[in-house]
Amino acid sequence: KKPTRRRPRWPSRITPRLVSRLRQYVLVICENYRTVPYHDVEHAYHVFLSANKLLDLLLREGGRRRAGPTFGIKSDPLAQLAFLFSALVHDVDHRGISNRQLVLESDDLAILYNDQSVAEQRSLAVAFAVWMMPEYGVLRGVLFDEDAALEEKKKDDDRNRNRNNNREEHFKFRKLVIDLVLVTDIASPERTQIVKSKWKEAFGEVILTANLNQRKGTKRGGGSGGGGGGNDGD
């Protein structure tokens, strides 16, 4: 008789109540997607699945392909969470109208967000307004308060230090999500330029090195091929 494989146990803080709150949050966000061309809940579903697949490919180990650099993402669960969270909420409450048109019509959202990435800012406002509701406090507590169960055994100064760290984690999470959603405003020249600059800063040296290595390999291959051709001609 083959031994049965035990499923990995969830951490004790992942309770049915927590899972229920997470499911509720996802449903509320999905319900806030409007029935409009393209920027609807089906689009959000596709983007989320694609983001999850990209993250899975980035973090996967083993297989035929040699693991490449993940630029810190593999060791940063908060960045992974922010990536997927952003995919879920990035177009919530989108009106199906371009930012340019909203600005030209002096739409109330354009006035509210000063003509800057109007739809994206609206999506962020809706996502975080729901996120900060009291009923999702249990989610925020588990995600950004990992040491809550141990606080009773710690001194007051340690507790205060933990609270500060938790606030910093949540602030970092919000910052990542804001940057990720705003970067989807590809019609903004300013935003596009910022993205290009950040991409060059983060990956420029890596891409340059890869290109140089590829060129060296091509030259070596071309040189040996050329030499072979010459010998055949002789």
Nearest to 85, CA basis, from 116, 55, 58: 55
Give me the chain's average pLDDT, please.
Answer: 81
- Residues contacting residue 181 through CB under 8 Å, at least 6 positions apart: 86, 89, 90, 120, 123, 124, 127
Query: Which token pair is 227?
Result: 């030499």
Angle at 163 between CA 157 and CA 165, to 5 degrees: 105
pLDDT, average across residues 27-31: 98
Share of the chain above pLDDT 70, in %: 72
Query: Which token pair is 88?
Result: 């879920």
Q: Is the pLDDT of residue 212 over 80?
A: no
Query: Which token pair is 50?
Result: 């694609």
pLDDT in tens, 141-193: 888 874 443 443 344 445 455 556 678 899 999 999 999 999 999 888 887 88
- Which CA distances in Å does 31 have to 42, 67, 120, 168, 205? 11, 38, 17, 30, 43
pLDDT at 219: 64
pLDDT at 167: 84
CA distance 187 to 103: 13
pLDDT, average across residues 192-208: 74
Q: Is the pLDDT of residue 60 over 90?
A: no
pLDDT at 71: 75
Give the global pTM. Answer: 0.75
Q: Is the pLDDT of residue 66 over 90?
A: no
Q: What is the DSSP string of 138-204?
A: HHHHHHH-TTGGGGGGS-HHHHHHHHHHHHHHHHHHHHHHHHHHHTT-TT-HHHHHHHHHHHHHHHH
pLDDT at 79: 93
Report the 10 Å Cβ neighbour count for 37.
8
SS3 assignment, position 123: helix
- Which CA distances in Å does 154 have to 12, 13, 150, 160, 168? 20, 19, 7, 10, 20
- Residues contacting residue 28 through CB under 8 Å, at least 6 positions apart: 130
CA distance 123 to 178: 10
pLDDT in tens, 76-128: 999 999 999 999 999 999 999 999 999 999 999 999 999 999 999 999 999 99
